[in-house]
Amino acid sequence: MSLFKHIRQLNALQCLQAKRQYSPAALKSASLQYDKDPQPLFTDSETQRLLQSMTQLQLDKVFRQRTVPDNSSETKFMTTLQLEKQFVKTIEKAKHLLQMPPVVKIKQDTERIISKDPAMKDFATTKFVFTDITFGLRHSERKVVVRDVDGSLSYASLDTTKRMNQLYFPLEGRKSYTPRMFADEQLLQRCLDEHKYEFILDRLLVQYEPYETEFHNISARVYEHLNESKQFDLLRSTRHFGPMAFFYAWHSCIDDLLYDMIRNDYLHNAVELIALSYKIHQVPVDYKQTLSQLEQLQPTPAERAHAELLSCLKTKDELGIEQEIHQAIGKTEQDFTADELSLKFIEQYIGSEHSRKKVQLELALQTLKEVNLEKLQLYQGLKKAHGVQAS
């Protein structure tokens, strides 16, 4: 029996050592980190608005079919009024699903001793952990204290607190051990190479708290890899797009994302991204005027999604000829004016010393301009042909 015990202890030791070997690998990989507290800038209402607008709201993507045990759907008969109410609710729900995970700085673990009682020394051979399991407390408010072997009573470390919280109030999807995907360097690299960005980030949110070191390291790695592979469309209209854009703006490497936005003809997003980076780095360029003008011209993503939902109620005959032209070209007159504004702003950015991939961006901008010009001509021609008055 004693031999068995011995072997088991040895095995446990080996496991511990293996774990320790893993952790520095994850630490080493992250090269970019928030050097100061990003919280005030991130929670700022203007930043939040910019990030939400950049994220966009594609209903197909937000409400995609999930492979979860309960994904039943309900069929109902509704009047038009009820349906419109339901649409509003749907948009609210979509906004909720796009809630961005908080960006906070790494929390340092501090040892806080409550009392030292030498009389309690060697009372037991192991530590005692006391947890307050009152119902309804938040995880951060829950008190966890540890009585050490040498008799001192202290607040538990962050790691212990998290484990105790998970023990008594488990978070769905969180594992009590580190998943091998995050522990093993090669497996994570493989996931990244297969472009499973959303899966990795989703799992990261569930497994770690936003203030943990691992959270920062792994998310930074994912964003860096994404910046190289340029598959930004995978994260667009998910909850991770905002923090990603914020990360790029913070570390001033927005050019690839900007290029992607210009190529996909999301010019207002590009303007917002540049404005965000100006804001973070406190560049003395007046961006607020352009932003407010753009806001007046273009609806927010939520409004756009709502309009899209409402448009299914209308039949084709109800749509005017003007609407039909809009649909065919994909742009309205307001969009064209907004594009002109944003093009001016982006050119100004490319001309400045902040952009690093000037040639590439200029080329993309030039192509877009030509396409836009063609569209504008077509739009005006169509309008003329149908005898719609220029407003």
Cβ distance to other proteins smaller for residue 91 or 270: 91
Cβ distance to other proteins smaller for residue 5 or 66: 66
Question: Residues 267, 338: contact at Cβ < 8 Å?
Answer: yes
Q: Determine if 89 is a binding residue for other proteins (CB under 8 A).
A: no
Binding-site member from 92, 130, 199, 321 for other proteins (CB under 8 A): 199
Q: Determine if 25 is a binding residue for other proteins (CB under 8 A).
A: no
Q: Determine if 211 is a binding residue for other proteins (CB under 8 A).
A: yes
Binding-site member from 158, 210, 323, 337 for other proteins (CB under 8 A): 210
Question: Residues 117, 153: contact at Cβ < 8 Å?
Answer: yes
Q: Determine if 101 is a binding residue for other proteins (CB under 8 A).
A: yes
Segment interacting with other proteins, rule: CB under 8 A, options 66-74, 125-133, 215-223, 254-262: 66-74
Segment interacting with other proteins, rule: CB under 8 A, options 94-102, 240-248, 289-297, 332-340: 94-102
Dihedral in degrees, nearest 10, Cα atoms 382, 308, 310, 93: -170
Q: How far is the CB of 267 from other proteins (least distance, A)?
A: 30
Q: Determine if 39 is a binding residue for other proteins (CB under 8 A).
A: yes
Question: Residues 375, 329: contact at Cβ < 8 Å?
Answer: yes
Q: How far is the CB of 44 from other proteins (least distance, A)?
A: 11
Cβ distance to other proteins smaller for residue 178 or 300: 178
Q: Determine if 71 is a binding residue for other proteins (CB under 8 A).
A: yes
Q: How far is the CB of 66 from other proteins (least distance, A)?
A: 5
Binding-site member from 112, 127, 143, 190 for other proteins (CB under 8 A): 190
Binding-site member from 200, 220, 261, 273 for other proteins (CB under 8 A): 200
Q: How far is the CB of 144 from other proteins (least distance, A)?
A: 16
Query: Of 208, 158, 216, which Cα lies nearest the Cα of 179?
Result: 208
Contacts of 305-309 with C-beta under 8 Å, sequence gap 24+, read 305/57, 305/58, 305/59, 305/91, 305/94, 306/87, 306/88, 306/91, 308/59, 309/59, 309/87, 309/90, 309/91
Residues that contact other proteins, how many (by CB under 8 A):
37
Residues of span 110-169 touching other proteins by CB under 8 A: 138-140
Q: Determine if 99 is a binding residue for other proteins (CB under 8 A).
A: yes
Binding-site member from 26, 41, 91, 104 for other proteins (CB under 8 A): 104
Q: Determine if 97 is a binding residue for other proteins (CB under 8 A).
A: yes
Q: Determine if 322 is a binding residue for other proteins (CB under 8 A).
A: no
Is residue 40 left, alpha or beta, with left meaning phi > 0 and alpha meaning psi from -120 to 50?
Answer: alpha
Contacts of 35-42 with C-beta under 8 Å, sequence gap 24+, read 36/105, 37/104, 37/105, 38/103, 38/104, 38/105, 38/246, 38/250, 39/102, 39/103, 39/104, 39/105, 41/279, 41/280, 42/102, 42/103, 42/246
Q: How far is the CB of 383 from other proteins (least distance, A)?
A: 45
Q: Determine if 66 is a binding residue for other proteins (CB under 8 A).
A: yes
Q: Determine if 184 is a binding residue for other proteins (CB under 8 A).
A: yes
Binding-site member from 25, 145, 153, 205 for other proteins (CB under 8 A): 205
**Which residues are near other proteins by CB under 8 A?**
39, 43, 66-69, 71, 96-97, 99, 101-102, 104, 138-140, 171-173, 175, 179-181, 184, 187-188, 190-191, 196, 199-200, 202-203, 205-206, 210-211
